[in-house]
Chain A
Amino acid sequence: MQHVDGNALAGPLAEFFSFDLTTAIARCSGCGAVGELARTMVYRSGAGTVVRCSECDQVLATLVETADRAWIGLSGISAIEVPRG
């Protein structure tokens, strides 16, 4: 099967990054817990925001923001479910 380049992601990924992600459901890659992102534990500091699993404390995601750039890391999330329609 041939692959295509990353431009093909524009449509599918727009769905994931264009709505309120706190309503999404994520799976923790550490303990396997599945739950709404809104129910995670969020630690905010000047350095960045760290999102942790409310079941096992593992880091799910990190957010780092500057005036002109931002990073999102999803190192502890194995999958995200978003509602459609």
Chain B
Amino acid sequence: MSFITRGFSGCSRERDERLPPGQTLVQDFPVLSAGPTPEVDTAEWEFTIRTESSVHRWNWDEFTSLAIDDVDTDIHCVTHWSKLGTSWRGVSLDTLFEQVETEQEYVMAHSYGGYTTNVPLDELLDGKAWVAFEFDGEPLEPEHGGPARLLVPHLYFWKSAKWVRGLVMMEQDEPGFWEQNGYHLHGDPWTEERYW
């Protein structure tokens, strides 16, 4: 019996502390989508932030001329997989919101293809979120959200909206696509905020 005891305690010690509860490590990059993959040409691409008083717009050239961050982070999908040490490049939401004045505290992210997801503004600022357009040293592939996706790695990955095209400020928190259909309004992987 002693080898069984050793095995159990060994498993416990070896669990990676970067893995939130209920998550399993993967090496590949699973693809989850709620519909067809939009093909968005960067010549047509536009990113907007809409506030209670104005709309801020960037085309692809303007956007990629902004300060670009290298981001190394772990990502956690609500379907129980996590991927550690992923590498991204993108524009910090702090950089984008330098030009934005708003009193509203909640954000709805909108994507090409119609997907939406809600995030409180304070969870997008202070180095916590980016609009990413490169993954692993390459332009972000369409199936992973290219040309650009939201990257909010401290929340479950459905919050990191693929094919993001803009943010709309909201006075109150409102549910996005999956949040209307069973998923949690907030989505913290460390407290397993998976569903209502």
Interface size on A, as a range, is: 10 to 19
- Using CB atoms, name the residue of chain B closest to A49: B34
Q: Which of A45, A57, A62 is in CB contact (< 8 Å) with B181?
A: A62
B30 at the interface (CB under 8 A from A): yes
Residues of chain A in range 11-46 having any CB-CB distance to chain B below 8 Å: 43, 45-46
Interface string of A48-84 (1 = CB under 8 A from B): 1010100001010010101001010101000000000
A46 close to B34 (CB less than 8 A): no
Categorize the interface residue count of chain B: 20 to 34
Decide if A10 is an interface residue (CB 8 Å cutoff).
no
Q: Report B-chain residues with C-beta under 8 Å of the C-beta of A46.
A: 30, 32, 77, 79
B32 close to A71 (CB less than 8 A): no
* A1 interface hit (Cβ, 8 Å): no
The answer, yes or no, to whether A47 is at the interface (CB within 8 Å) is yes
Contact B182 A71 (CB under 8 A): yes
21 A-B pairs, CB-CB below 8 angstroms?
A: A43-B33, A43-B35, A43-B36, A46-B32, A46-B77, A47-B34, A47-B178, A48-B34, A50-B34, A59-B34, A59-B114, A59-B177, A62-B34, A64-B195, A69-B182, A69-B195, A71-B181, A71-B182, A73-B180, A73-B181, A75-B180
